Structure 1
Amino acid sequence: MRPGPLLLPALLLWALCGLAVVLELLPLHAWQWSGLAIAALALLDGWRLLRLPSPEVERELPDALALDVERSIALSLASPSHPLRLQVFDLHPGHWWSEGLPQTHRINAGRQLTLYYRLRPGERGDAVFAGTQLRLYSPWRLWRQSRMLGTARQVRVYPDFAPLTRFALFSADQASHLVGAHLKRRRGEGTDFNQMREYRVGDSLRQIDWKATARTRKLISREYQDERNQQVVMLLDTGRRMMAREGGLAHFDQILNAALVVSYLALRQGDAVGLMASGGASRWVPPQRGAAAIDVLLRASYDLQPQPVAIDYLQAATELSLRQRRRCLVMLVTNVRDEDIEELLLAVRLLQKRHLVCVASLREVELQQALAQPVRDLTDAVHAGAVARYLQQRSDAHERLRRQGVMVIDVASKDLPAALVERYLAVKRDGLL
């Protein structure tokens, strides 16, 4: 229990009375009696504060939140028998952005108060709301007391799955356009039979079904669709390079979001999708298909965090080769540097014995921006030269991968979802699996 907003002014007034006594403006007994009165009021007010019952507190909070998505949180407080004046602090994770706390309110006896504040999770994984802290004021506001109420509550912070729920309203092709993928359209040239239809100008002769044509006495074409029931594995780098931040999010958060987008679309296409994380934190989810598979991927990856260690590409490739026997499309998302290229080439050669490999390398936007800055002096020239040399070495590393027969994607993190979707659909379209 600590002094309230009115006790200190009362003590200051009593001190002024003592000064007046020293200056012989007031008699001594006036100062004594005023001190006794203040002490008696303070003791009585403190006793009344200690006897005040704590209000009932309930927090309306879902079990799952989305990373970097602002949400409104409601707190309900009820005072059963006494009016209360209080200040409310909700003990959410301290590094998260919040707005609207603390709040000061008065609750009448027998009434309920609901207050709201805004919260934006700043990190994926498990988070704990320790409880609610209330600062109660005594009836005469001479004292205040802090009380911890409510029970600790654990929530899960997932990647931002709002794009996935938006994609559910569209077909796979429409959802692909939403992420910005530029698709080359074909008509009826897949490998799985889809339907019979009338001949259209542009159909090849091998599409014509001559038996159906003879029966109906008009040209009938077979229409095919891209082969289904194939497998895709997203291989994600959880090493130190994914700890870099851009646009408020770590690179790993951005590649995880992109991996979930392409996984969702692949599942919509009838393929099975798996996930493997390697470098720092490790995780393995075998390929599976169906609408429920995206929930499995979300639950398996929501708490993955990059760690300040270097990824071992060869170890990751060996582990994946042992776990994934059936041929699949492996989409490795990382940040390729020239010093890694020899080990990475060994890793992709191992994977290529059975699988089709695509390497997506995140491009640092800051380096492109630094290269575009004007050169004013020798320091700027040295800096620009170093950046240009680094980018050239990075480009050479990508070219060595391409000569090995690896599909390479070199994009900034904001363009990664569209690039991955576009490459996945190109693989389907060309029948490379």
Structure 2
Amino acid sequence: MKKLFKLFYTDLFLTSRLFALLAGSVVLFLLWFFFPWLGVVPKLFFWGIIVTTFVDLVLLYRIGNAIFAKRHAPERLSNSDDNELGIYIENRYSFTVQAGIIDEIPVQFQRRDVLFKTTLKAGEHKLISYALRPVKRGEYAFGSIRVFVRSPLGLISRRHNFEQAETLPVYPSFLQMRKYELLAISNRLNELGIKKIRRLGQSLEFEQIKNYVPGDDYRNINWKASARQGSLMTNSYTDEKSQQVYCVIDKSRAMKMPFEGLSLLDYAINASLVLSNIALLKEDKAGLITVAEKIGAVLPADKKPTQINKILEILYKEKTRYLEINMEALYSTIRNVLKQRSLVVFFTNYESLPALQRQLPFLKRIARFHLLLVVFFENTELKQVSEQPARDVEGIYIKTIAEKFAYEKKLIMKELAAHGIQAILSTPQNLTINTINKYLELKARQKI
């Protein structure tokens, strides 16, 4: 009995309407003190409030499970994307209610405004949708759903609690991966800024012998097959397949820098996931290597359907380290794991030319055996500072330093090009598009 009473008063809340009426009652009693002719009006008004409150109490508490609510959430959330969630709510009262719904979202979002207000008629049910955008991989713990219900009288509010604690993993941006995958399948990548690259030369990857149709290259006519068939036959060629594409992700302290809530490592991880999926769609083999002060995960290149899930599971757990990258260990791993010429996409970051020069000897050795593509980031904050006009001496110094760092990024590009190393200098938000563009360009030019 004591427990039931405790549940009763902990879930009971007085509304602002009730306080307004009580305040009006106090005013009437004060006026009655100065104007006795008011008679019993203040008392009738006060007892009317009491009776109405009791009726409201009976309306809200006469049914135990009068409200039902449940959260609809996906099995996993996609990092840096808007993830759709929903709350299903059903009114089992015999009258219309005003409902306020609070969903206890994970603490990582640091939001206290996830409150939804709605009106539900008798027997009505609704699905309230909302979106959450995580900016960090890991596990996100959701709490309970709290529904505050008011009857048409609106003097008190009853809270209904629905324990629905669940933990959802936040994976690298698989929603972005699916978007690019659908466009790649339908050959519509150019809609997202993916450039169409003019093919140079012709692939030597034989596909089939087919009937000649006007417009086919007459140089590909297969005269032996034509003689056997009695009609013109031509050789058909396709893009070279089963080429190895390795994404090498630097997770040292250079990748800790934040941009719009995400670290550079998260941008690199999202781009690696999309690039690996595009490579698999192009029937190439995708592999993965992560490195900091020591080698992290090593996944040999493969083109099995399960490969993208293996890459996703590895990238889900990766975190930034606080030490410098061990290039000697990376070079040794690449020489031991990569047994044939491959495209090595190295995601890292350089803020100065000396930072590159420390790693350059190892990069040149890798480029000797493989096609190396170095992807690093443009510092957009410094770029904005360098483009703003200086208003005083201090502003001139700041602008000059910002321009110096921006210029060093260009020097890094020239230094890499001088040693025959492909490079991409990209803003974080355009990293995925620029990386796919470069991959398709290298493939079209048959450099892999």
TM-score above 0.5, yes or no: yes
Cα pair 1:135 1:145 within 8 Å, conserved: yes
Deviation at 1:87, TM superposition (A): 1.6
Q: Which residues of 2 match residues 12-91 of structure 1 at below 5 A?
A: 12-20=23-31, 22-23=33-34, 25=36, 42=53, 45-46=56-57, 49-54=60-65, 55-70=67-82, 73-80=85-92, 82-83=94-95, 84-91=97-104
Q: Distance in 2 between matches of 1:428 and 1:168?
A: 15
Q: Distance in 2 between matches of 1:13 and 1:420?
A: 68
Q: Distance in 2 between matches of 1:376 and 1:81?
A: 66
Could you say which residue in structure 2 is the equivalent of 1:180? 194
Cα pair 2:177 2:277 within 8 Å, conserved: no
Deviation at 1:42, TM superposition (A): 4.5
Could you say which residue in structure 2 is the equivalent of 1:370? 385
Structure 2 CA distance for partners of 1:297 and 1:17, relative to 1, 3 Å: same
Q: Does 1:417 align with 2:428?
A: no
1:304-334 deviations in Å (ceiling 9; x for gaps): 5764735514266157437724233220112
Could you say which residue in structure 1 is the equivalent of 2:344? 330
1:395-421 deviations in Å (ceiling 9; x for gaps): 333444344442222233344334323
SS at match of 1:234: strand
Deviation at 1:37, TM superposition (A): 6.5
SS at match of 2:241: coil
Cα pair 1:67 1:120 within 8 Å, conserved: no
Which of 143, 158, 165 is residue 130 of structure 1 equivalent to? 143
Q: Does 1:3 align with 2:19?
A: no
Deviation at 1:375, TM superposition (A): 4.0
Which of 404, 408, 423 is residue 393 of structure 1 equivalent to? 408
Q: Distance in 2 between matches of 1:313 and 1:199?
A: 56
Q: Structure 2 unaligned runs (5+)? A: 1-11
Q: Distance in 1 between matches of 2:238 and 2:194?
A: 22
Q: Which residues of 2 match residues 104-115 of structure 1 at below 5 A?
A: 104-108=118-122, 111-115=123-127
SS at match of 2:431: helix
SS at match of 1:395: helix
Deviation at 1:193, TM superposition (A): 2.6
Q: Does 1:148 align with 2:161?
A: yes
Identity of aligned residues (%): 19
- AA at the equivalent of 2:186: F
Q: Distance in 1 between matches of 2:375 and 2:217?
A: 35
Deviation at 1:30, TM superposition (A): 7.9
Q: Which residues of 2 match residues 216-235 of structure 1 at below 5 A?
A: 224-235=237-248
Which of 263, 279, 285 is residue 276 of structure 2 equivalent to? 263
1:131-182 deviations in Å (ceiling 9; x for gaps): 32111236743322333214124444441234224225325xx647854235
**314-323 or 26-35, which moves further after superposition?**
26-35
Deviation at 1:229, TM superposition (A): 1.8
Cα pair 2:251 2:265 within 8 Å, conserved: yes
Which of 397, 402, 409 is residue 382 of structure 1 equivalent to? 397
Deviation at 1:245, TM superposition (A): 5.0
Cα pair 1:17 1:26 within 8 Å, conserved: no
Deviation at 1:39, TM superposition (A): 5.2
Q: Distance in 1 between matches of 2:336 and 2:102?
A: 49
Q: Distance in 2 between matches of 1:263 and 1:269?
A: 10
Cα pair 2:70 2:162 within 8 Å, conserved: no
Q: Distance in 2 between matches of 1:8 and 1:431?
A: 77
Q: Does 1:118 align with 2:133?
A: no
- AA at the equivalent of 2:199: R
Deviation at 1:424, TM superposition (A): 2.8
Q: TM-score, normalised to structure 2's length?
A: 0.76
**30-39 or 259-268, which moves further after superposition?**
30-39
Could you say which residue in structure 1 is the equivalent of 2:6? none
SS at match of 2:286: strand
Which of 235, 246, 249 is residue 236 of structure 1 equivalent to? 249
Could you say which residue in structure 1 is the equivalent of 2:182? 166
Q: Distance in 2 between matches of 1:186 and 1:213?
A: 28
Cα pair 2:208 2:235 within 8 Å, conserved: yes
Cα pair 1:87 1:135 within 8 Å, conserved: yes
Which of 192, 211, 215 is residue 205 of structure 2 equivalent to? 192
Structure 2 CA distance for partners of 1:5 and 1:368, relative to 1, 3 Å: closer
Q: Distance in 1 between matches of 2:120 and 2:334?
A: 64
Deviation at 1:359, TM superposition (A): 0.6
Q: CA RMSD in A?
A: 4.3
**359-368 or 340-349, which moves further after superposition?**
340-349
1:59-117 deviations in Å (ceiling 9; x for gaps): 33332444455465443322345544432223334628899942132442xx1320423
Q: Distance in 1 between matches of 2:239 and 2:326?
A: 31
Structure 2 CA distance for partners of 1:393 and 1:76, relative to 1, 3 Å: closer
SS at match of 2:402: helix
Deviation at 1:274, TM superposition (A): 1.6
Q: Distance in 2 between matches of 1:167 and 1:96?
A: 35
Q: Which residues of 2 match residues 282-293 of structure 1 at below 5 A?
A: 283-293=297-307
Cα pair 1:56 1:79 within 8 Å, conserved: yes
Q: Does 1:344 align with 2:359?
A: yes
Deviation at 1:381, TM superposition (A): 2.4
Q: Distance in 2 between matches of 1:88 and 1:371?
A: 47
Cα pair 1:97 1:122 within 8 Å, conserved: no
